[in-house]
Amino acid sequence: MNNCIVKVIKNGKQMTLPVTDEIKLNLGDQYYVSQLDNGEIVFTPLYQDIFSSPEFADLDFSQAEMDFGKFMGEEKLDD
C-alpha cells in the first residue's frame, strides 16, 4: 500500500479520518483507537474472544479422538 495524505473532516458532531479503498475493511468492523505521545493515531482491530463469548459457551473446543479402526500389528503404542 502506498502512503497517502488524508484530511480530517467534520461529520455532524464528529471528526472523521477518511480511509482509502486500498485499506481492506468491512463495514461494521470495530477498532480500538489510541493516540501516542508523539501524536500518532493507532487503529487496532477488535477481535471477539470466542472462549468467553456466550455464543460459543456450549461448544467443546477439545479435539475429538478419531477412531482409525483396528491396529494392524506394526503400530508403536506409547502405553
pLDDT in tens, 31-62: 999 999 999 999 999 887 777 778 777 777 67
pLDDT of residue 75: 65
Is pLDDT of 63 > 70? no
Q: CA 49 → CA 25, 44, 65, distances in Å?
A: 20, 15, 25
Angle at 27 between CA 8 and CA 22, to 5 degrees: 60
C-alpha cell at 37: 505521545
The answer, as to whether pTM is greater than 0.75, is: no
CA distance 16 to 9: 5
pLDDT of residue 79: 62
CA distance 2 to 40: 18
- Per-residue pLDDT averaged across 6-15, rounded? 92
